[in-house]
Amino acid sequence: MLEATALMALSGAAAFVSASPIVPLSIRDSTSSFPANCKLLSKPAYLGFNTSSIGIYNDGTPQLYLGFEESPYGGLEELQSTLKVAHYPSFFFLPYGCDHTYDGGVGKGSVQTYTGYLSDPIIPGNCIGVSALKSQNATLVSSPCDFSSGSVQASQKFQFSSSTFFKYQVVSFLGDNASPANADFQEQHTGYSFAVSGYKFYINYDPANKAPKGLAYDLAFDDGWTQQASYSHDLAGL
């Protein structure tokens, strides 16, 4: 594994030093050609997998995190495009919401849903997407963002759902499906579900999946995870 010590200072996020995970030296995001209606939904965020054990109003951590495979050449700029499982937070992602598909107001348990894209934390102009639509065992990959149709291209289109009951936001892959957003935070399933095998993330499609298998099968982000990671690094003296 590439050994790197990187000091990262982020606007609105605590600076920290990491010794083991590969961490980009800066968060670079080029959005000049991106749709004007898209807005950043969060500070640079870790993406977690399986939040099913996290209760309401809780900053608990996910089971796993999303990371990148290392390049055989060992350079931060030469990471392979396939995303993998990480047991610790290592990469920030930038979630952008473009279309506000559901507005549940501001009451207890109310839901807000956007469709949009995930910006690559390493390569400016790249977005996170899937290797194939409506298939089994597709992989998560990074490739140039495609907005040639005037909106987010289907293979890079995600849905972001928040609830006032939960501190994290759910990240579901949407593809070319219509957004299934409704008032139930745990009924946002798009037919796609994430799975882990070894150190790889896979994404599977089942059109019969009208309800979720549970939050264990979606990605998520939470500003609290960023803070907890920075505190743990500080306490470890890294």
Tokens encoding 199: 């150190």
Q: Is residue 211 in some structural domain?
A: yes
Please check the confidence at residue 77 and state whether its pLDDT lies above 60: no
pLDDT cut 70: percent of the chain above it: 68
Q: What is the pLDDT of residues 53-74, one digit of tens each?
A: 888 888 788 888 887 765 444 4
Confidence (pLDDT) at 67: 79
Return the pLDDT at 20.
32
Residue 183 one-letter amino acid: A
Q: pTM above the 0.85 mark?
A: no
149 within a domain of the structure (yes/no): yes
- Quote the pLDDT of residue 53: 84
Give the pLDDT score at 152: 93
235 found inside a domain = no
For residue 145, what pLDDT is reported? 92
What's the distance, CA 38 to chain centroid? 16
Domain limits for position 203: 27-222
CB 39, CB 96: distance < 8 Å = yes
| Residue range 15-27: mean pLDDT, rounded | 33
| Number of structural domains the chain divides into | 1
pLDDT in tens, 78-137: 334 567 777 777 778 899 999 998 888 888 888 899 999 999 877 888 899 999 999 999
CATH number at residue 204: 2.80.10
Q: Is residue 232 part of a domain?
A: no
Max mean pLDDT among 112-126, 153-167, 212-226 falls in 153-167
Q: Determine the average pLDDT of the residues in 8-37.
A: 42
Q: Which two structure tokens, joined as six digits, stand for 106?
A: 């501001």
- When computed from its CA atoms, the radius of gyration of the chain, rounded to whole angstroms, is 17
Half-sphere exposure (CA, 13 Å, Cβ side) for 86?
22
Give every CB contact of residue 237 below 8 A, 6+ residues apart in sequence: none
Residue 220 has pLDDT above 80, yes or no: yes
Report if residue 20 sits inside a domain.
no
| pLDDT tens track for 172-209 | 999 998 887 666 676 656 888 888 887 778 889 987 76
Does the residue 3 lie in any domain? no
Q: What is the pLDDT of residue 228?
A: 65
Instruction: Kindly report the average pLDDT of the chain as a whole number.
Output: 73
pLDDT value of position 214: 56
Q: How far apart are CA 124 and CA 211, in angstroms?
A: 35
Looking at the domain assignment, is residue 13 inside a domain?
no
Give the containing element (helix H, strand E) for 227.
Answer: helix 223-236
Give the pLDDT score at 116: 96
> How far is it, in rounded angstroms, from Cα 101 to Cα 121?
26
**Residue 16: inside a domain, yes or no?**
no
